[in-house]
Amino acid sequence: MNRQKDRFEPPQKVWDRTHAHRNEQKDPSMPPILFLIFNRPDKTRAVFETIRQARPARLYIAADGPRSDSEAAICDETRSILNEVDWPCEVQTLFREQNLGCGRAVSGAITWFFEHEPEGIILEDDILVDPDFFEFAAEMLERYRDDPRVTSISAFNRLNDDLPSADSYFFSAFWGAWGWATWRRAWAHYDFDLSDLGTPASIEAISNMCPTPGGLQHWMAVYSNVKDGKIDTWDYQWQFAQWMNSGLTVIPGKNMVQNIGFDGSATHTTNPDAKEASLRAQPLPRPLAHPDDVIRSAEMDDYAARNILKIKPIRFTKRFKKWLRGDVLAWK
């Protein structure tokens, strides 16, 4: 599969702040960060404060274009966050003039990021991670850099509970978009258009990564809605790409992120009463206790599938039976 390219991508601008702050400290071990922003200056500033504490040597800021002329002013105000970088840092920006929508804009920005960097951390404008996540992500990026079995690191533990073992983290088929990190080698498999959906290989991959009864039909329906353009998003495609390559996500034993975007200004998380809105960010106890092997936690994934994603065994429809017999067009 080929990476999705954005034909509307303008030249990026580079702002080098290293000379103005020559005597200040920066953390050379901190991975580069991609900061995805749009039209929420207050939330953007709150997340930026956590980035300022981390002091990355390289910061990438990407913003989709305004949806209308009336939105241009608030988008410009949000973009002015780059003027608040006050530590030695090279800042590159991808500020679009046209609005591409959530799916194309975010995925295109991540592709742009990995055209410049081999690995890094990705934060959206409403994702407030615990400061400890930056150190955790840096350690995981280094530890699993050359291990193709691991394709991402997440700050989000939707179970929000201690692990049933002494390990500090586990491996999951389910990836969380609320504060995460990955490598260029993994993102290279991303396909915005889900070209392989419905092939025998995709059926096998979904079955293997979510063997919970009802999982195959659940995810085929979700991915089909994305492919058909019924959901404007980019993140389901990333999970699909990981599944097609048997890739696992590092999930911390404690939830390390708070989503501050549960309100009417959000694209997807619009319900302030959602259970996930109450999750708070926590640090991980040190030193880290690493799992003995890179193996998907069937226990944790099955619990998440049944109790959080609410996947249940369902009666096979005539359409689904045709698809199982090999009529892949039944899902297209």
**Does the pLDDT at position 267 exceed 70?**
no
Farthest-apart Cα atoms in the chain, separation: 69
Residue 38 belongs to a domain? yes
Confidence (pLDDT) at 8: 38
Same domain, 305 and 190: yes
Instruction: Look up the domain containing 181 and give its range.
Output: 133-255+293-332
Same structural domain, 93 and 178 = no
Say yes or no to pLDDT of 205 above 70. yes
Which residue's structure tokens are 């996930």? 276
Please, which pLDDT band fits residue 318 given cuts at 50, 70 and 90? low
Q: Is residue 274 part of a domain?
A: no
CATH number at residue 57: 3.40.50
Sheet holding 169-172, edge to edge: 13-16, 90-95, 58-63, 33-37, 119-124, 180-183, 150-154, 248-252, 169-172
Residue 4 has pLDDT above 50, yes or no: no
In angstroms, rounded to a whole number, what is the distance separating the alpha carbons of residues 175 and 278? 19
Q: Domain ends where: 83, 100, 125?
A: 125
**Rounded to whole angstroms, how far apart are CA atoms 208 and 147?**
19
Domain assignment of residue 17, yes or no: yes
The pLDDT value given to residue 2: 43
Band of pLDDT at residue 215, cut at 50, 70 and 90: very high
**Helix (H/G/I), strand (E/B), else coil: 326:** coil
Q: How far is CA 303 from the centre of its chain?
A: 21
| Whether residues 305 and 201 fall in one domain | yes
The answer as to whether 64 is a domain residue is yes
Q: Which helix (H) or strand (E) holds 137?
A: helix 132-143
Say what the pLDDT of residue 138 is.
Answer: 98
Q: Is residue 267 part of a domain?
A: no
For the stretch 27-53, pLDDT in tens is 668 999 999 999 999 999 999 999 999
Task: Find, among 246, 268, 238, 244, the residue nearest to 108 by Cα.
Answer: 238
pLDDT of 255 higher than 70: yes
Segment 109-145, tens digit of pLDDT: 999 999 999 999 999 999 999 999 999 999 999 999 9
The pLDDT assigned to 162 comes to 59
Residues 44 and 164 in one domain: no
Quick one: what percent of the chain has pLDDT higher than 90? 75
pLDDT greater than 60 at residue 257: yes
pLDDT tens-digit series, residues 229-240:
999 999 999 999
Locate tokens 């970088």: which residue? 85
User: Do 200 and 79 fall into the same domain?
Assistant: no
Residue 26 has pLDDT above 90, yes or no: no
Q: Are residues 77 and 183 in the same domain?
A: no
Q: How far apart are CA 151 and CA 270, in angstroms?
A: 29
**Amino acid letter, 135:** E
**321: number of Cβ within 10 Å:** 11
| 189 and 306 housed in the same domain | yes
Q: 160 and 215 in one domain?
A: yes
Same domain assignment for residues 210 and 325: yes
Closest by CA to 74, choosing from 43, 52, 110, 102, is 43
Looking at the structure, tell me whether residues 120 and 175 fall in a common domain. no
pLDDT value of position 268: 47
The tokens for 206 are: 């979904």
SS3 152: strand
Query: Of 109, 141, 92, nearest to 38 (Cα)?
Result: 109
Q: What is the mean pLDDT of the chain?
A: 87
Specify whether 170 is located in the same domain as 224.
yes
Strand, helix or coil for residue 18: coil
Q: Which of 65, 97, 125 is the last residue of a domain?
A: 125
pLDDT for residue 159: 84
Domain count for the chain: 2
Q: What are phi and psi of 202, to 5 degrees?
A: -70, -35
pLDDT band, residue 286 (cuts 50/70/90): very high
Confidence category of residue 218, pLDDT binned at 50, 70, 90: very high
**Same domain, yes or no: 38 and 159:** no
Q: Going by C-beta distance under 8 Å and a sequence separation of 6 or more, which residues neighbour residue 113?
A: 32, 34, 60, 62, 120, 122
* pLDDT value of residue 107: 98
pLDDT of residue 273: 65
Q: Give the contacts of 233 (CB within 8 A, at least 6 positions apart).
A: 102, 103, 226, 268
Which of 97, 125, 153 delimits the end of a domain? 125
Residue 165's pLDDT band (boundaries 50, 70, 90)?
A: confident
Q: Of 153, 154, 9, 21, which is closest to residue 91 (Cα–Cα)?
A: 21
83: DSSP letter = G
pLDDT, mean of residues 71-96: 97
DSSP letter (8 states) at residue 228: T
Residue 189, pLDDT score: 99
Altogether, the residues listed in the chain come to a count of: 332
